[in-house]
Structure formats: C-alpha cells, structure tokens
Structure 1
Amino acid sequence: MSTDRLYTGTEAAALATTWRQALTGGAAAVTLSAISHWRTRGHLTTAGLDPHGRPLYTLRALATAEQATRAGALRAARRTRPHP
C-alpha cells in the first residue's frame, strides 16, 4: 500500500473498517458518515479534492484518525452487542 496514494471517503471507510474489524473480530465498522464526522471534528485532515470536489485523504491521516477515535468506537460496539 503506497503512502502517497489518496483515498476517497468510501475507500477510507472500507480501509478503516478492515482495521477495526481486525481488532474487534468483525464487530465494528467505519461508515462514510463516520469519515465525514472525523473530518468535521478535526480528527481527519483532507489532502485535496477529487475532480468532483469530494475530499481525499492520505493513509497517514486516515490511520491517525482511526486510532484517535478507536476507543470510543469500541466502547460503543460493546454497548450494542447482546449479552449471552
């Protein structure tokens, strides 16, 4: 995976979901809406815009945002799981 490649919001959500699911045994996913919230809340910075004006993200920025938001997401995932 190249570190200079730029990712769309959809690609960023899919990549972050892969990371989260590896940590949670498939229990947590990252949506396009979550990517937008990360940007709005200042966790994720854009590296440019695509030809349609949609934000693009670097792998480094995405990894940093995923790590910064992970603890809260994992708490939320535990709250929504049914108890055995």
Structure 2
Amino acid sequence: MDTEPLLTTAQAAEIATIWRRIASRGRAAAVSPSAVSNWAARRHLAAAGLTPDGRPLYRLGAVARAEAATRGRALRLVGLPDSAPRNTAA
C-alpha cells in the first residue's frame, strides 16, 4: 500500500514555494497553482489520482522532482542563482 501523500494543485504550489524559498534563501517568488498546472502540461509532473470533483492529485515526491527540474530556470528568470545542490548521480 502506497502511503505517500497526495496533494491538490494548491497544496503542491504551497509546498513547492517553501522548497524554492529555502533553495533561494527566501528570495524566490511564490509558486502559483497555475505554475503547478504548467508543470503538469509540460510533463514535469504527472497526476497520481483525482479528487471526487475530477481535479488532479499529485504525489509529494513527484512535486519535489518537478520543482527541482524547474527551479534553475525559474530562479534565473528573476535574477537569482540556483544555489541548491544538484544530484550528480547517473
């Protein structure tokens, strides 16, 4: 049984904002729910289920990977270096 939390788009945006601000030492802008939707549309993030009203749910780990995959570009767009450590394992 999988116990990884499933997040709504708004929850995913909130958590990604926290991660991004940690990586930028508090200087990054908030991650919006529309940004999370864009991650899904651009195939950085796959839905893991649906709410009863048909809205997507995302796994916490998948949100973390999508945030990391998009962080460098997002921070460069606002003039901040990507200071988070990179996973160099192949």
> TM-score, normalised to structure 1's length?
0.86
Give CA deviations for 1:4-44 in whole Å, capped at 9, x if unaligned: 11000000000000000111122222100100000000000
Equivalent residue, structure 1, for 2:18: 18
Structure 1 consecutive aligned stretches of length 4 or more whose deviation exceeds 4 Å: none
Equivalent residue, structure 2, for 1:4: 4
Point out the more displaced range, 18-27 or 65-74.
18-27
Structure 2 stretches of 5 or more lacking a match?
A: 81-90
Equivalent residue, structure 2, for 1:48: 49
* Counterpart check, 1:57 vs 2:58: yes
> TM-score, normalised to structure 2's length?
0.80
Equivalent residue, structure 1, for 2:34: 33
1:60 positional shift: 1.0
Is the contact between residue 13 and residue 30 of structure 1 (CA under 8 Å) also seen in structure 2?
yes
Equivalent pairs counted in the alignment come to 77
Determine which structure has the larger helix proportion and give its number. 1
Is the contact between residue 45 and residue 57 of structure 1 (CA under 8 Å) also seen in structure 2?
yes
SS at match of 1:45: coil
Sequence identity (%):
52
Is the contact between residue 27 and residue 77 of structure 1 (CA under 8 Å) also seen in structure 2?
no
